[in-house]
Amino acid sequence: MPSTVGTEPDLAAIIQAYNDVTERLKHSHEALAREVCRLREELQSKNKELQRRERLASLGEMAAGVAHEIRNPLGGIGLYASLLERDLTDRPRQLVLVRKMSAGISNLESIVGDILAFAGDAEPDPQPVSAGKILQHALEQTVPKAETADIAIEIDPRLLSVELFCDAAQITRATVNLILNALEAIDGSGRVWIGRDDRDVDKGLLRIVVEDTGRGIAPELLNRIFDPFFTRKDSGTGLGLAIVHRIAEANGGSVSAGNRPGRGAVFVLSVPLAGYGNKTDIVGEPE
């Protein structure tokens, strides 16, 4: 008769090993399912972004064609209005009307300029530049409006010494647009804060944060805030933030929008830092 000594312990060990393997397979399957779900969502997001870019490119081409068609006759109208204004210096009533016409023409020229800026290739010429210099130029264009509206613009001093690698003129324009957007979002007196966020420094990006004490952004509008011609204001083209988005991407960065925990909106403009895989380190090298 064969011995059964050790059979039960061996069977228990086999069952335990089977259970352990089954449990590990279950965890692996769940982890794999989560990863597949994440990748599917990421792919869906990338496809949506690709489709959005294709739509924006088509819209940009159409808008550029319309803007060029408008710009040519508009220049002639502006010339005739300036000549008429010069000839009516002795007729105050008529002069007021002509000056209103000239103001309207200037407004149209500004709109055409925004359309062309959005529709253009936005091909950057990246160079090393200090964030302080960009902010200085941006403030020169926005402080007068802020002072008129009794709004304080404050800057994190840590930003001033940061060296960026970007097209200075384009990033200045993007910064100006973000500050103007913040100023227009504030009713009455308030504050605009331009700060620094280092969370993406290891990726070679500096996050420039623009916060305001305005009314904030309605949650249902967050996905549309950078769409061209979308605006909540009674005036304007709705291209200011779309231009920021286009400039940010052209310079290898990004822009995002959200709401502050208290009250107001927050925009984050990510800009490449100097010295992270770009050509800043060859400046001044001996031949």
pTM: 0.65
Q: Which residue has the higher pLDDT, 95 or 1?
A: 95
Residue 68: band (very low, low, confident or very high) from pLDDT cuts 50, 70, 90: low
Contacts for 209 with CB less than 8 Å, ≥ 6 apart: 193, 194, 195, 196, 197, 266, 267, 268, 269
Residue 215 burial (C-beta neighbours within 10 Å; 0-12, 13-18, 19+): middle
Q: Which residue has the higher pLDDT, 233 or 186?
A: 186
Domain boundary among 78, 94, 120: 120
| pLDDT given at position 62 | 66
Same domain for 136 and 181, yes or no, is: yes
Average the pLDDT over 8-19 and give the result.
72
| pLDDT given at position 58 | 62
On the question of pLDDT at 279 being above 70, the answer is: no
Neighbours of 209 (CB within 10 A): 16
Average the pLDDT over 281-285 and give the result.
33
Same domain for 21 and 132, yes or no, is: no
Specify if 243 maps to a domain: yes
pLDDT 10s digits, 154-196:
999 999 889 999 999 999 999 999 999 999 989 888 999 999 9
Instruction: Tell me the three-class secondary structure of 142-201, residue by residue.
Output: HHHHHHHCCEEEEECHHHCCCEEEECHHHHHHHHHHHHHHHHHHCCCCEEEEEEEECCCH
Evaluated on CA atoms 64, 65, 70, 75, the torsion sign reads: positive
Average the pLDDT over 259-281 and give the result.
81
Tokens of 114: 């925004």
Same domain for 35 and 115, yes or no, is: yes
On the question of pLDDT at 92 being above 90, the answer is: no
Same domain for 159 and 181, yes or no, is: yes
| pLDDT given at position 282 | 32
Same domain for 45 and 85, yes or no, is: yes
Tokens of 203: 């990726």
Q: Give the β-pairing of 265-272 and 205-212.
A: antiparallel
Same domain for 79 and 145, yes or no, is: no
Query: Which residues pair with residue 237 across a beta bridge?
Result: none
Same domain for 192 and 242, yes or no, is: yes
Tally of domains within the chain: 2
Same domain for 215 and 135, yes or no, is: yes
| pLDDT given at position 280 | 40
In angstroms, the CA 121 to CA 69 distance is 18
Average the pLDDT over 207-228 and give the result.
88
Same domain for 111 and 171, yes or no, is: no
Query: Which residues pair with residue 193 across a beta bridge?
Result: 154, 211
Same domain for 103 and 139, yes or no, is: no
On the question of pLDDT at 208 being above 90, the answer is: yes
Specify if 286 maps to a domain: no
Q: Which residue has the higher pLDDT, 274 or 13?
A: 274
In this structure, what CATH number is given to the domain that contains residue 266?
3.30.565.10
Range of the structural domain that residue 1 is part of: 1-120
Residue 131: band (very low, low, confident or very high) from pLDDT cuts 50, 70, 90: very high
Specify if 284 maps to a domain: no
| pLDDT given at position 211 | 94
Same domain for 78 and 149, yes or no, is: no
Same domain for 206 and 236, yes or no, is: yes
